[in-house]
Amino acid sequence: MEARLNYFADPTAGRALKHIMTAGKTLKGSALPAATQELVALRVSQINGCAACVDMHTKEAAAAGETPVRLNLVAVWREATVFTEAERSALALAEEGTRVADAARGVGDEVWANALKHYDEEQLTALVMLVSFMNLVNRLNVITRQPAGSYEPGQFH
């Protein structure tokens, strides 16, 4: 598979991506736990069918020490026993925040209240920003059919 566009070759895309990449790095350095960030990024990417981001976040999480069992069970996190209650609340918020058109209501009060039990305001802000960021990046990649499989951990850092 070949990408429809090469973002790095286009001057307008290059200027915009510079800011997008900076936003991603800022979120990486947030108070939201790194493992939670990778699990959320992976789940949002799975929902959106972003092969490039699934490739990236699976490999980044594994390189950071995430177990294969947990990575393999992200897609079915509700039925899996390997995630903490905090991670489950983040994954629920990520799903509802990604599937806004499906429910036509966004993130429900129960999901929001559950996330508030596990994350302080700074972490919750980072979580909301991460979900939104991943949806942006996923759409850029899906629309242009960015291929997956060749990502190396740390490639964009």
Per-residue pLDDT reduced to its tens digit, 79-111: 999 999 999 999 999 999 999 887 667 899 999
Would you call 107 helix, strand, or coil by DSSP? Answer: coil
Least confident of 12-21, 110-119, 120-129: 12-21
Q: Which two tokens stand for residue 124?
A: 């919750």
pLDDT at position 139 over 90: yes
On whether the CB atoms of residues 61 and 112 are closer than 8 A, the answer is: no
Average pLDDT for residues 107-136, to the nearest whole number? 97
Structural domain contains residue 15:
yes
pLDDT in tens, 30-78: 999 999 999 999 999 999 999 999 999 999 999 999 999 999 999 999 9
Average pLDDT for residues 106-125, to the nearest whole number? 96
What's the Cα-to-Cα distance from 32 to each of 10, 26, 49, 152, 156, rounded to whole Å?
Answer: 33, 11, 24, 23, 20
Structural domain contains residue 121:
yes
Structural domain contains residue 102:
yes
Cα distance from N-terminal residue to C-terminal residue, the chain: 25
Structural domain contains residue 79:
yes
Residues in CB range of 39: below 8 A, 6 or more apart: 61, 66, 70, 74, 77, 83, 87, 90, 91
Residue range(s) defining the domain that contains residue 102: 8-143
pLDDT at 103: 66
Structural domain contains residue 153:
no
pLDDT at 105: 79
CB atoms within 10 A of CB 152: 10
Structural domain contains residue 122:
yes
Q: Which letter does DSSP use for residue 67 in this model?
A: -
139: CATH? 1.20.1290.10
Q: How many domains does the chain have?
A: 1
pLDDT at 106: 86
Structural domain contains residue 155:
no
Structural domain contains residue 64:
yes
pTM above the 0.85 mark?
yes
pLDDT at 104: 65
